[in-house]
Amino acid sequence: MSRVLIIGAGGVAAVTVKKCARLPQHFDEIYLASRTVSKCEALQKEVGADRVKAVFAVDADNASEVEKLINEVKPDLVINLALPYQDLPIMDACLATGTDYLDTANYEPKDVAKFEYSWQWAYQDKFKDAGIMALLGSGFDPGVTNVYTAYAAKHYFDEIHYLDIVDCNGGDHGQAFATNFNPEINIREITQRGRFWENGEWKETDPLSVREDLDYQNIGVRASYLMFHEELESLVKHFPTLKRARFWMTFGDAYLNHLRVLEGIGMTSIEPVEFQGQKIVPLEFLKAVLPNPGSLAEGYTGMTCIGTYITGIKDGKEKTIFIYNNCEHAKCNEEVGAQAVSYTTGVPAMIGAALMLNGTWKKSGVWNMEQFDPDPFMEMLNEHGLPWHVLECDQSPFSKK
């Protein structure tokens, strides 16, 4: 019998809860906790009290409060779908209680717009000594893109040399300006400097200053911008033959124009300002007035295309492949009442959890997705709504860049 505690009740958590609820063979009992317990209660009502056994209010910033909750529920696994700021308190609670851990995004300190794996990798010996496991980044990017890379390295290449992860949302939600996941995290991510790996070192660019127009499967040509994304950090560590690794994301002109205006007037700042006798963070205020990403699903048209271009050597010859998924917003809404960005993160969280619970991916310590056999995960993607495709290319669209 397996028991999971899911922390978080936003758009991604809603997808994960609904997917887990349909698989009692992997998830016998589901418990749900969030700062806002009413969100948990709404999810419980939607999937049934026979599947979500109980809901709780918890402050995930407080490790002792999370520890107390874990001791009450006694789960086999904690699925952390809260904010990246809360990764370390939840990991501390799991360590204190001897409980396995999974998340979808790496730790980010609240007072600095910077994310990297060093803080979580530092738990390796502690988790190993405690005989428990932490699986980091079981979303899509990071997550599925890491597994795509491991799958390509296992089945298509002797060595991989060039990696370009591409993330295109070709959908239309009809809003003047909205983010597809937590606005605070999203805007912090895209306004920081770009970073990529080349010839054994990290190189930096000004935010969204490097653009390429790429042709995405079943979507068409979209402007794509070089950014830093956390999976690059783990992939260059675990695939040392990589000569270059980059991450690209699409943004429309209207989105970028809004973003530049908001930056220009200080609304994306994380530095507190005085307002009517109290301190407020402009970005947190902006988050409060922007559309809730969970509300975008109804009427959202189009699809996403997220994948990995990989160039390397097989049998002495250079080759390039593109592994990717297309995910339609309307189909996701029809299935689970979510838009595709939430869906593409929530489903891999469920899959990673299932593989941990059934022992397929299981070893003590702190691990990234690409450090396990990719085949079982890839099989489950096809079975649970995220079918993937492999396209053999004459050359990479990045080959001359």
Tokens representing residue 179 in the block: 């983010």
Return mean pLDDT, the chain: 93
Q: Which residue has the higher pLDDT, 348 or 259?
A: 348
What are the helix and strand counts (H, E) for the chain?
14, 18
Tokens representing residue 211 in the block: 């653009």
pLDDT digits (tens, 9 = 90+) for 388-401: 999 999 888 875 54
pLDDT digits (tens, 9 = 90+) for 223-280: 999 999 999 999 999 999 999 999 999 988 888 878 888 888 888 888 888 888 888 8
Distance of CA 361 to the CA centre of its chain: 19
C-alpha distances (whole Å) from 196 to each of 144, 217, 232, 236, 378 are: 19, 24, 8, 10, 26
Q: Assess whether pLDDT exceeds 90 at residue 367.
A: yes
Residue 122 confidence (pLDDT):
97
- Report the predicted TM-score, pTM, of the whole model to 2 decimal places: 0.94
Tokens representing residue 261 in the block: 């205006």
- How far does the chain reach from its first CA to its final CA, in angstroms? 52
Tokens representing residue 144 in the block: 């599925």
Tokens representing residue 181 in the block: 């996941």
Cβ-based neighbour number of residue 79 at 10 Å? 31
Residue 181 confidence (pLDDT):
63
**CA 89 to CA 190: how far, in whole Å?**
25
